[in-house]
Structure 1
Amino acid sequence: MATVAEWIEGARPRTLPTMVAPVLVGCGAAIGGNTFSPVRALLALVVAMGLGVGVNYANDYSDGIRGTDDERVGPLRLVGSRVATPRAVRNAAFVSFAVSALAGLTLVSLSRQWWLIAVGSVCVLAAWFYTGGKHPYGYLGFGEIAVFVFYGPVAVLGTLITQNGPVNGPAVVSSVGVGLLACAVLVANNLRDIPTDTDVGKRTLAVQLGARDTRRLYTAMVVAPLLASIGMGVVAWPLLFGLIATPLSVLVARTVLRGATGADLIPVLAKTGILLLVWSVGTAVGLAVAPWV
């Protein structure tokens, strides 16, 4: 039976920034639009964290029963390491999705944005079929697209819309930046796993591109949000605050471009998550204060 510490590790706390960052940016835009609601912000955070933890457990379950996690370089996998039963991990995923759905329904009822129920349903289905089902799209190279869409525009703008905030140019551009950095976390993960994924027939985008082009893709993803900050800063200078993430962006890009492999990429995953959080905090502050300066 898995310990509490193992269940926490199985939830992959390194991915926490991908759950928190979109809500921060959406709330920053809502503050700038003078529509911020702490209650709705908290509910949006519960939705994001429930989905994030749920998809991590769902991936653990689906990869584990397929045997694709039997040889793994990265953090603990509950099913693959035989410390928890597949049924227990699957149930943990379902509970996480249920918590997210309950918070989401409450949020929708407060905001009266009923069409978001359909969006939330698609989010849960996308989370499950990433590695679940007979033809998981994560095994076919489409995982990055899903991460970009659901952790970027959907999560950021969804947070903003449920607070009745204005969906304007800076909010949309910021949501794209969040999506790119969240996607970079996955790209770093898949870069590390190219050898093992190739052996088990998992055709991730990194496997299809090869290591060299995957490193270039990663670098583009961690640099593009900084360029977006510069572009938005021309319109409203507080949006330059996102540039506080520049040193960390340079650090992780340099590490990846210099050829880090295997276990050496594990710290890159954590630092990319921190990069996402730092850029999002700076951008959220910029969105919040830009209309008032």
Structure 2
Amino acid sequence: MTLYQFARIVELRTKIVSISSLTLGILAALASSGRFFPGRTGVMIVAVLAVDMGTTAFNTFFDYWTGVDRQQTNREADKVLVHQRVAPGIALIVAVVLYGVAIILGLFLAVLVHPLIAPAGALCLAVGFFYNGGPHPISRTPWGEFFAGGFLGWFLLCLTIFVHNGAIAPGELLLGIPSGLFIASILTVNNTCDIAGDTLAGRRTLSIITGRRVGESLVYIQGFLAYASLFTLGAAGFLHGGAQVTAPLFLVLSLPLYLAMHRQGFSHETKSSSMQRISAAFLLFSVSMALPLGLAVLERGPWAGLL
């Protein structure tokens, strides 16, 4: 296995999602406590990336093993098990090793910070595995968007706050909602483009059940709701009021990306460009939430009187 093949098995380019939730969670924790713990934060970043990459490696293995990724329907060169004949067992070994690393680091954080981190981490590992594996994988059901957005967005952001501060306020539990909605829309783009291949593989994703037209509409609805909830959190005082400016501003900035996706349509042939555009839109969204969180952090520092 080459470094290139490893990067494709774990799909390194998709880790912007977990990096975004980690970054927003750290900023939210700093905004509420004003303290930074580089040691525990660094350990958590490595643990989360290990879980994320391990989950993707499991997905790579099971998609090949169950026939979701096949040469007849797949045109993605990055699928190295399909197009470069990489042994599927390698992807499985990579996934198991990364999960092992995550378990060790998670137990260390549980001892260092709080015992509740251990069951929370175990839940993440279980969802990550059963998202792709087991007799009834979550990814083959209409619940994929709910679990992807719920865990990579809402749960991860809240867990980051908890690990950093050792506690989390009730109002902070709302901060992960915008990210969860947007991350769900990324999966909706993926599943809507993959309707043909997923149908052949016997999947029953939300896009398949509702139809291509509804799936396309969900992409726009989820993105709008992410920005709307961000604006609402700022207006309600759960987030710095700057969110009332950044939410509509960055929504407008992301419109050309959505229009381009709409013009080209959602199919396997357009999947690569569609995923690039929704990823770019996600980066814009992440910045729109990071800015008000960053302002809240600055207002807690010794320079607060200058702002």
Tell me if structure 2 keeps the 8 A contact 1:24–1:281: no
CA distance in structure 2 between the partners assigned to 1:156 and 1:133 by the alignment = 27
Aligned position for 2:59: 59
Aligned position for 2:74: 72
* Range with bigger deviation, 57-66 or 172-181: 172-181
CA distance in structure 2 between the partners assigned to 1:166 and 1:173 by the alignment = 11
Tell me the alpha carbon deviations over residues 37-80 of structure 1, each in whole angstroms, 9 at most, x when there is no partner.
22222222212211111111101111111122113133522333
Identity of aligned residues (%): 22
Could you state the TM-score of these two structures normalised by the residue count of structure 1? Answer: 0.90
| 1:29 is the counterpart of 2:33 | no
| Superposed displacement of residue 188, structure 1 | 0.8
CA distance in structure 2 between the partners assigned to 1:231 and 1:152 by the alignment = 17
* Counterpart residue type for residue 249 of structure 1: S
SS in 1 for 2:83: coil
1:238 to 235, 242, 254: 242
Is there any run of 5+ residues in structure 1 with no aligned partner, and where? none
| Superposed displacement of residue 89, structure 1 | 0.8
In structure 2, do the counterparts of structure 1 residues 242 and 23 end up closer, same or farther at CA, with 3 Å as the change threshold?
Answer: farther
| Superposed displacement of residue 138, structure 1 | 1.2
Tell me if structure 2 keeps the 8 A contact 1:54–1:97: yes
| Superposed displacement of residue 157, structure 1 | 0.5
Alignment map for 1:36-115 (pairs within 5 Å): 36-70=36-70, 71-81=73-83, 83-111=85-113, 113-115=114-116
* Counterpart residue type for residue 246 of structure 1: L
In structure 2, do the counterparts of structure 1 residues 242 and 24 end up closer, same or farther at CA, with 3 Å as the change threshold?
Answer: farther
Aligned position for 2:291: 285
In structure 2, do the counterparts of structure 1 residues 243 and 28 end up closer, same or farther at CA, with 3 Å as the change threshold?
Answer: farther
CA distance in structure 1 between the partners assigned to 2:122 and 2:232 by the alignment = 34
| Superposed displacement of residue 285, structure 1 | 3.4
In structure 2, do the counterparts of structure 1 residues 50 and 248 end up closer, same or farther at CA, with 3 Å as the change threshold?
Answer: farther
| Superposed displacement of residue 243, structure 1 | 4.7
**Greater relative contact order: 1 or 2 (C-alpha under 8 angstroms, separation 6 or more)?**
1
CA distance in structure 2 between the partners assigned to 1:50 and 1:243 by the alignment = 34
Tell me the alpha carbon deviations over residues 208-231 of structure 1, each in whole angstroms, 9 at most, x when there is no partner.
111100011111111112112322
Tell me the alpha carbon deviations over residues 94-125 of structure 1, each in whole angstroms, 9 at most, x when there is no partner.
111122222222222221x2122112112111
Size of the aligned set, in residue pairs, is 290
